[in-house]
Each structure stands twice: as C-alpha cells, then as structure tokens.
Structure 1
C-alpha cells in the first residue's frame, strides 16, 4: 500500500492519494515481513522462500517481488536484514517443524555463514543492522529460554533468560531505533530489556497481565497495556517509567479478541474489538482525543505514514 506521503525529516510532503501498489508477490503462505531502508522482505512459510522488492518498484505496472530461494524447508520462519546486504534466516531440519537454527544468506540465496548453534522453537526477531536477535527456547526440550544473537559476520551466541524465568520464551523481539535497544516480550512474563553488550536480560515490566507491548513509531518509548486497562510508557534511553494511567476499561484474560495497541511519538492508538472502535490517546495527558468507528470487531492495527505538524509552500 502506498501512503502517498514522503518524509523530509522536518516536514512531510503529500505526493499523491493513498492507493494500493501495483506490485504483487506469489510466495506460498506469506507471513512475517521486514523492511529496511527501501527494501521489503516477506518470509513464505509454505515453501521456505523469501520474497524481495524495493520501494521504487511498487507502482510499476506488472512489477513482481523477486524470489530468494536458499533451499530452506517450509516452516513458520523469520528473517532479519543486515546493512551489509545479507539476511539472517531461520531454518528447520523437518518440514513444517518450528525452526531451531539461523543461517546467513545473500540476495541470491547462497549461504554466507552456516548456523553454528542449535536452539529450540525460534519465534520473533529484530535487527539493528549488525546484530539480529531471535527469541526461542535454549534447546528442543523447551525447559528454558533465551535469545539467539547472530552477528552479520557469522558469530552466534545465546543469552539466557533471567534466573527463575521458567519454561517460557520471549516470542516477540523489538528493536527501538532511536534508543538503540532490543526488547523481548511474552504476555505470560512481561517486557524485558535485551542488552547484547552485557549479554543480559533484565525486566522492564514483569507480570502476567501485560497483554500488549509495543515500541512507538519513533523507537524512543515502550508502551505496555495491562488487563486492568492501564497504560505504561517507558523511556527506553533511561529505562524509566515516564507515565502510567488508565486509558480503557478492564479486559478479561479469557477474552478471545483483546484490544490491540500501537503508538506514535504523540499518540497511542488502541483498537477495541468489543466497541468496534479505535481510540486515539494523547500520550502527554492520556486523554482520549478521538474515537474512530471502524469494523464490527477490529483485531489488528498498524501505524502507517509519518507524524508531523509542519507544512510548507
């Protein structure tokens, strides 16, 4: 989808009306996707391939994503982009099984660095351009977890979860671009700072009630939404709690469809399935500044575009 917007850092230009792009992809069961600069990657669970495109091709009539085939077996996989142009991709030894290794390939699918460490049930990943972090269990026994750190130069190591963490994995990994921090999250345990310099994982918010956890669009703050309807905003540079307060009604842990959270630098957006609405919340005051009526039961939400008050002639 083309937003029609172009960012010039200090302002945003409107180039054209929002529209569906012309480009198409043909991978089987496309699932996870990643973007870096002007490159877009999709992991195709159905055949273990990647689909790749660059942004300038999106509105070219008849354009198609190219296929990167590294000979991987079909699985629910993930990939990370490095600034040197290579990719870290998950692999499995059994078709359809959870991935347990990560290798580095180039754009042709050729292996640049083979996997050197086997773990268990990899899920969730993020990259800072030099390091890729994958959540998972320490081994196939799934009795303990940690994060696999893969460097663009091929080195791999496991950072274990904190003592007493139990048989859980950090199944969602985020990278906060501005704060330059990795965060791991799982609803049953909370949100954790992943320090790849000190090889240590420490709690930001620990608890079994954090059902949504997101980095804001600017990559500066972490937002945690708990079952009691309370929103917490953490400054990722300092690791401190900036603000907390109730923003929605309490959510039952048994609800199949729970509210979904996303945020920009100025607003949090919460899709509330029970109301068919998206609530816009001012992060400075926690006041609900707008309620957007959408579908009967919104269960997904994405931030798209740029946030700016600036304009020019």
Structure 2
C-alpha cells in the first residue's frame, strides 16, 4: 500500500512539474516580444513649434503637450520617470513627468503625463546631467550650475537652485560624484575661444574641495560613473577621481589632432565610450588606461549608448545601422534602416536606442521611425511635428503592473 501510494505521489508531482513548466514556456507571447515595453515612452520636440510629442510605442498612440518654446533639447532623469526640457536660447529648463514610478519588479502609475511645476531660470543652460536624484545644468551664459531635486518637481513655485562658483564664462560641463561633490570645468584663458582648460572638484555650496592639477588645450564632452569623471580633451582623455586625483590617458597613436568631443556612460564602472567624427567610436577603460576601437569610421552621423547602457548603436550617413555589445565589443546586428543623409544637411535624423528597438527622427516627413533590432526590416512609423528636433527615451523598460 505504501509503495503504491509512493508511486502515485511521484507520478502526481512529476505531472504537476511538467504542466507548470509547460505553462511557463507559454508565458511569453511571441507578439509581445515584437512590441515595445508598456511603460516606455519616446518624447520628441519640434524645431519650429512648441509642441512636444509623447509616443507610446506599445499601442502606437501619440499625445501632444505644449512646452514654453520650440527647438528644445530633451534629456531623461536618473530615475527614468522625468524629462528635462532645455530651452537654451530662452534661458529656461522645464520638467516633464511620465507618471510612471519604477519599483523594480513592477511599475506604478502615479498620474497622467504632464509638465512639472519646477523650472530652472539661468543664462544659456546647455549641458544637462542627472545623478543622485538631482537635475543639473551647466549654464554657458555665466558659468554657473542650476540644481534641482526630482522629489521637488511637482512643488508649486519652486525653482532650480543656482550654484555660483565664480568662474569665467565658458562653454563648460559638470559631473556628479557619488559622494555628493561635483567635477566642474573652469577656464583660465590659457587658450583662446570658449572651451575650458581645467576641471576642479567642488561641493554643493560651490566651495573648492580639490583644485585642478592638470591643464589641457581645450575640453568638451564628459561623463561619470560616480567615482570617475572623464572629459574629452585635445591634450588627452582627462580623468578626474572623486578624491581629486587627475590624469591624462593618451589618444591612440594614429589620432593626430583628433580628440573625443563626446563621452558616453556605459553600464560597466570605469568604462566609457568616446566618439569623434574624425576617427570613430572607442571604448575607454580609465582603470586599465586603454582605448579600444568599437568602430573606426569617419561617416558616423549618430552614436548612442542604449537606454540600459549595455549596447551602442551607430548610424552612418549612408543609412546603415550597426549595433555592438559593449561587454564584448562584438557586432550584434547591422543593416540599412533609413535613406542616406547628406553630410551638409542642417537638420539631420536623430537616434535613440532601447533594448528592443531603435528610434530615428525623420525631419523631412515629420515622423519617428521605429525599427525592431532583432529584425531590421520590421519597421513602424509615428507622425509627430512637422520638423522633429530633439528625441529622448523616458519611462521604464518594463510591462509589469502592480
């Protein structure tokens, strides 16, 4: 009797296991795999109109929202919930809320998409960053910083705080360290023009914590992982640590006068992407002091790290797209996705890269093209303003509800 009962229980548990495994295997709907995540959005500004288009790729809908001005640059905040809308020529920074709050295993909806109450009023806000729950702009008009907290975005009447470091006006940049201090460019007029030559570390009150120890022949472009802040420089790649240590990493030997004017963050601490139109895209390891080529090509129109910072997408003027895995530097996918663009075009297509799709603006047709990364011939289009200008991914790569 005991033996018969044992065999019955064994058969029952095995059957349940098989059925549960079979159910699990059918949890993923193939059609869902070819759809964007439910809580991801694409925000698009227009060159001539102050309408912001909010695309919901999951169901193909587009809603319009009215910004203060046209021709705005768009950025996502660290949490993914908010966007920073920078009107450089109008001395204003706005905020926008998706209403999505990420809780790791699911996303809560906290309201409808809308503008935040907090704004930044500053002279020529140009460089935007978001770390440690803060939004920050470097203001070219007077070399100050404007700082606000994500938690204050819906506080009526609040404005981003100004940090005046007493710097000479210049086209600068900043980076946030995990310890709460900032790396900020400074100009000493050792070279002509608007570019800065040095970087120092300050606290949240603008007081110098670590003075600059290295001078360069011009700085543009930066990124940070919280411990290292790196800056593109014609003298080499400038690396500034949170403890104040500074060093220069040499460019590859064949660079000549070329240098990285754009630096992008990756998901790996200590690793960054450097891009220059004169040579191509490279992986910079600031610990190993190495610079490895990802794609050496002088016909790159757009170079963007994916929303989850694990891959890099490169769009050539020919319309060809190349996708690389940043952990291996291997080519994952390539193929033509849009028509060729003249290098002299004043309004070029702009690109952003998500986990499943790449999105590209089409200024002439007033559309955004969505291309499935697993099958580059699978495309969809969304009608936005007549002259799409800025584009950003906001929200979360998740379809999980509460």
Is 1:74–1:96's contact at 8 Å kept on the other side of the alignment? no
Is 1:178–1:218's contact at 8 Å kept on the other side of the alignment? no
Q: What is the CA–CA distance in structure 1 between the aligned matches of 2:342 and 2:120, rounded to whole Å? A: 39
Alpha-carbon shift at residue 302 of structure 1 (Å): 1.0
In the alignment, which residue of structure 2 is the partner of 1:197? 287
SS class of match (2:104): coil
Q: In structure 2, do the counterparts of structure 1 residues 96 and 106 end up closer, same or farther at CA, with 3 Å as the change threshold?
A: farther
Match of 2:340 among 245, 250, 254: 250
Match of 1:263 among 353, 356, 360: 353
Larger Rg: 1 or 2? 2
SS class of match (1:56): helix
Is 2:229–2:239's contact at 8 Å kept on the other side of the alignment? yes
Q: What is the CA–CA distance in structure 1 between the aligned matches of 2:193 and 2:99, rounded to whole Å? A: 38
Q: What is the CA–CA distance in structure 1 between the aligned matches of 2:141 and 2:276, rounded to whole Å? A: 26
Deviations 1:79-99 (A, max 9, x none): 000000000000002497310
Match of 2:111 among 16, 40, 65: 16
Q: In structure 2, do the counterparts of structure 1 residues 263 and 179 end up closer, same or farther at CA, with 3 Å as the change threshold?
A: farther
Match of 2:331 among 215, 219, 241: 241
Is 2:231–2:237's contact at 8 Å kept on the other side of the alignment? yes
Q: What is the CA–CA distance in structure 2 between the aligned matches of 1:47 and 1:277, rounded to whole Å? A: 36
Higher helix fraction (1 or 2) = 2
Q: With CA pairs under 8 Å and 6+ residues apart, which has the higher RCO, 1 or 2? A: 2
Alpha-carbon shift at residue 23 of structure 1 (Å): 0.8
Residue-pair matches, total: 305
In the alignment, which residue of structure 2 is the partner of 1:142? none
Normalised TM-score (structure 2): 0.74
Larger displacement relative to structure 2 (80-89 or 256-265): 256-265
**2:205 is equivalent to residue 108 of structure 1:** yes
Q: What is the CA–CA distance in structure 1 between the aligned matches of 2:372 and 2:269, rounded to whole Å? A: 21
Match of 1:74 among 151, 166, 169: 169
Q: What is the CA–CA distance in structure 1 between the aligned matches of 2:364 and 2:298, rounded to whole Å? A: 22
Matches within 5 A, 1:227-238: 227-238=317-328
Alpha-carbon shift at residue 309 of structure 1 (Å): 2.1
Alpha-carbon shift at residue 178 of structure 1 (Å): 5.2
Alpha-carbon shift at residue 177 of structure 1 (Å): 2.2
Deviations 1:231-259 (A, max 9, x none): 11110011111111111111122222211
Q: In structure 2, do the counterparts of structure 1 residues 55 and 81 end up closer, same or farther at CA, with 3 Å as the change threshold?
A: same
Is 2:260–2:274's contact at 8 Å kept on the other side of the alignment? yes
**2:124 is equivalent to residue 34 of structure 1:** no
Is 2:270–2:285's contact at 8 Å kept on the other side of the alignment? no
In the alignment, which residue of structure 2 is the partner of 1:118? 215
Alpha-carbon shift at residue 181 of structure 1 (Å): 2.5
Is 2:225–2:269's contact at 8 Å kept on the other side of the alignment? no
Is 1:181–1:236's contact at 8 Å kept on the other side of the alignment? no
* Dislocated runs of 4+, deviation >3 Å: none
| RMSD over aligned Cα atoms | 1.5
SS class of match (2:151): helix
In the alignment, which residue of structure 1 is the partner of 2:231? 134
Is 1:76–1:96's contact at 8 Å kept on the other side of the alignment? no
In the alignment, which residue of structure 1 is the partner of 2:159? 64
Q: What is the CA–CA distance in structure 2 between the aligned matches of 1:69 and 1:179, rounded to whole Å? A: 30
Is 1:179–1:236's contact at 8 Å kept on the other side of the alignment? no
Q: What is the CA–CA distance in structure 1 between the aligned matches of 2:341 and 2:214, rounded to whole Å? A: 40
Is 2:177–2:226's contact at 8 Å kept on the other side of the alignment? yes
Normalised TM-score (structure 1): 0.94
Alpha-carbon shift at residue 26 of structure 1 (Å): 2.0
